[in-house]
Amino acid sequence: MHTSFSLARPWAGLLLLILSLQNLNAQETLPAARVVELNDIYDVYAFGGKGVFGLRSMADGQYYTRINRSSAGAQLEKFDYATGTSQGILFTEKDLETAYGKSFSLQSYSLSSDEKSVVLESQMTSIYRHSYTAMVGVYQLENKKFTLVSPEPIQNAQLSPNGQKVAYVRANNIYLFDIATGTTSAITTDGIANQISNGAPDWVYEEEFSFSIALWWSPNSEYVAYLRFDETDVHTFSMDVYGTSLYPSQTVFKYPKAGEDNSKVSLWIYSLSSTEKNRISDKIEYEYIPRVQWTPQNALSFLTLNRWQNELTLYLAKNFQETPKVHFQESDAAYIDITDDWRFLPDGSLVWSSDRSGFNHLYWISADGKKSKPITRGSFDVTSLYGVDAKNRVYYQAAARHSSQREVYVVPVSGGQPTVLSNSSGTNDAQFSQDMSHFILTHSSAGSVSRISLHRQNGSEIRLLEDNKALKDRLKEFVFSPKEFFTLTAANGQELPAWQIKPLSFDPTKKYPVLMFVYGGPGSQQVLDQFGGRDFYWYQHLASKGYWIVCVDNRGTGGKGREFKKCTYQKLGQLEVEDQIAAAQTIAHWPQVDPQRIGIWGWSYGGYMSANCLLRGADVFKTAIAVAPVTNWRYYDNIYTERYMRTPQENGANYDSNSPQTYAAQLKGNFLLVHGTGDDNVHVQNSMRLAEALIQANKPFDYMVYPDKNHGIAGGKTRMHLFTKMTAFLMDNL
């Protein structure tokens, strides 16, 4: 279960301006404007915008490559950052067919460090959230030679920096393919499905630590580091797959639930010259190895966490026959988030991200790991580290102006006054070239569609890449109610970030029903000044039906510093639900709100929240929809759950006291429960157990199960069906 970026403090007591650009303002639309219908959203997809995807910086930072597709097939083309002009086609699918002897569809690629070879992927088949298998080949640009790496689909193909070999995973083992000779050798031989996995993480690592490739080449191409996962003691989870066959099949995988055994994970080094393997993590104590990274000096760095995830250690291994050295340690009274926001510099020092000051900031750590000083300061959060250039300037994203905003900044490693590189309010994000000399800026706000532009490293704009004019023009055909941002003072005294979308043709003399949307999970944020957002167009459809939509970020979410975010530690669902109920109590006193018609809905963590709110706030909420909810944290995976709750053995009372199942007998309102049977993340078991609790309490409720659909509940007409169902339920019950 993933969470959003953490954010900074709100402007105390300040009602933000109503973001209502002309194309979103109901009173300034053309006479022919019409309301948004479900068919527009989920059938004809009328609101699709354009992005700039697939640009990959070349090593010098002055050029980039991109796959261009046409009816004639795909081709890889080189472009100049500054002018956007083509520098030539590197190869086409026709070139691949000529070299290979048969067709090879180009889906993904990566250039070697010397940019003379390209690893190509085709026939990509998804495994879990990030992982996949593919047919893989190597194309050498100079001699136009194509070499198939394996006759079977493989995982995690990684080209050595010198472009000579490919390390990859097949059937839980790591193999080494020599491009020149076409020979393959095995690095590991002990891989067994659902027992031993080499070079590819288990399900829970992939989901909660957000990586799917667990093998790494050293910069000098002499070593391959990899993780080995021993899943022997992890319990097996199975899901029925109904499909179209006479008999259902089963998907079976290892899934460690809260309090259960994890994989035993170890870090290994393979030497190409000696063919020896050394277990690097043999003599240290840890539960998790969530990150591995080679330093510019060919040392291996890696992070370890304890089971509670509140003690983090950065190790360095230089002599791979010796026990790695502790380089740096950090601890927290609650938990430590794992991110990719850390970089080793050429002198061995480190740029590091931490919320130790009460807000998330960047720090410089000396080469010996003994000295530390802040690079950024203030009562706001740094939300992403982009990189460091050759002049030791640090590029990052932060919410320095307001918790709902994002800006791009640069500051010297030595600290000082940062320079803002993005000029517009709203949400700004950057994609930098390898040398940090150029960046592509994506900007949007609640009232303006995405605008994508190319900039120099000083922030000056070179040219516009995409302004989404077609989407802007299309929006003029519809009438919209603007999204308004404000700070809500809840009945319990909490000051909470919020937004609202009022009913179309709002009449201040009338009273309206309110539908609240909630996610509410640790570090997440829904109150963001960006275009669209979760189900924005559905809310516009509901606004045309007379519904008032409100979203409130409760305690535990990002946006107000470490204390606000981590105050829910060991009691997930307590303070968050209190805040949502208190927010609804405040909303109930708004003059134009019908206090008897307040509903709430959410998905995943939000489904957990909406179910809890209806059951524990039975006198406040009339209706709730819970999609793919966790219904007791005992059923969810241990890395996510224990980070915030510790184990059920240690904290079982809070697991159960904040579970919707515990309050099934308190149901008074209207409840729709939705889940997909193929959800490998939040298992349908959660909804089945809540359904059983409601049945045994003799409480009526609606239940919709989507066969073989995963956590996203999509595919074909599924989304149209789901939102038609939810809309009809609200029309009948709120």
pLDDT digit string (tens) for 687-699? Answer: 999 999 999 999 9
Q: Give the mean model confidence (pLDDT) for residues 650-674.
A: 98
User: Residue 19: pLDDT above 80?
Assistant: no
**Superfamily of the domain at 368-467:** TolB, C-terminal domain (2.120.10.30)
DSSP output for 425-438: SSEEEEEE-TTSSE
Residue type, 498: A
Instruction: Provide φ and ψ at 541, rounded to 5°.
Output: -60, -45
Residue 32 pLDDT class (50, 70, 90 cuts): low
Residue type, 230: D
Yes or no: say if 203 and 260 are a contact pair by the CB < 8 Å rule. Answer: no
User: Residue 13: pLDDT above 60?
Assistant: no
Q: How far apart are CA 432 and CA 457, in angstroms?
A: 9
Strands (E), 332-404: 343-344, 350-354, 361-365, 372-374, 382-388, 393-398
User: Residue 598: pLDDT above 60?
Assistant: yes
User: Residue 382: pLDDT above 90?
Assistant: yes
Tokens encoding 666:
């308190």
User: Residue 2: pLDDT above 80?
Assistant: no
User: Residue 14: pLDDT above 70?
Assistant: no
Residue 52 pLDDT class (50, 70, 90 cuts): confident
Is 438 tagged catalytic? no
pLDDT at residue 72 in the model? 82
- Which of 55-64, 185-194, 567-576, 707-716 has the lowest average pLDDT? 55-64
Cβ-based burial of 253 (10 A; exposed 0-12, middle 13-18, buried ≥19): middle
Which residues are CB-contacts of 567 (< 8 A; sequence separation ≥ 6)?
A: 555, 556, 575
Strands (E), 623-701: 623-627, 670-676
pLDDT at residue 692 in the model? 98
pLDDT at residue 136 in the model? 97
pLDDT at residue 15 in the model? 30
Q: How far apart are CA 550 and CA 539, in angstroms?
A: 10
Q: Give the mean model confidence (pLDDT) for residues 21-31.
A: 39
Question: Smallest Cα–Cα separation from 10: which of 547, 538, 555?
Answer: 555
Spell 549-563 as b/e; 16+ CB within 10 A means b.
bbbbbbbbbbbbbbe
Architecture of domain 481-733: 3-Layer(aba) Sandwich (3.40)
Q: Give the mean model confidence (pLDDT) for residues 602-610.
A: 98
Q: Give the mean model confidence (pLDDT) for residues 21-42.
A: 66
- Which of 28-42, 360-374, 610-624 has the lowest average pLDDT? 28-42
pLDDT at residue 126 in the model? 94
Q: Give the mean model confidence (pLDDT) for residues 2-29.
A: 34
User: Residue 275: pLDDT above 80?
Assistant: yes
- Sheet with 393-398, strands from edge to edge, namely 382-388, 393-398, 407-412, 419-420
Q: How far apart are CA 642 and CA 474, in angstroms?
A: 46
Q: What is the pTM of this model?
A: 0.93
SS3 583: helix
Is 453 tagged catalytic? no
User: Residue 40: pLDDT above 90?
Assistant: yes
Is 455 tagged catalytic? no
For residue 406, give the DSSP letter: B
Mean pLDDT, rounded, of the chain? 93
Q: How far apart are CA 86 and CA 224, in angstroms?
A: 36
User: Residue 8: pLDDT above 80?
Assistant: no
Q: Of the listed 443, 455, 675, 711, which one is catalytic?
A: 711
Q: Of the listed 404, 679, 683, 687, which one is catalytic?
A: 679
Domain chopping of the chain, boundaries: 368-467, 481-733
pLDDT digit string (tens) for 529-573? Answer: 999 888 999 999 999 999 999 999 999 999 789 999 999 999 999
Q: Of the listed 384, 524, 604, 687, which one is catalytic?
A: 604
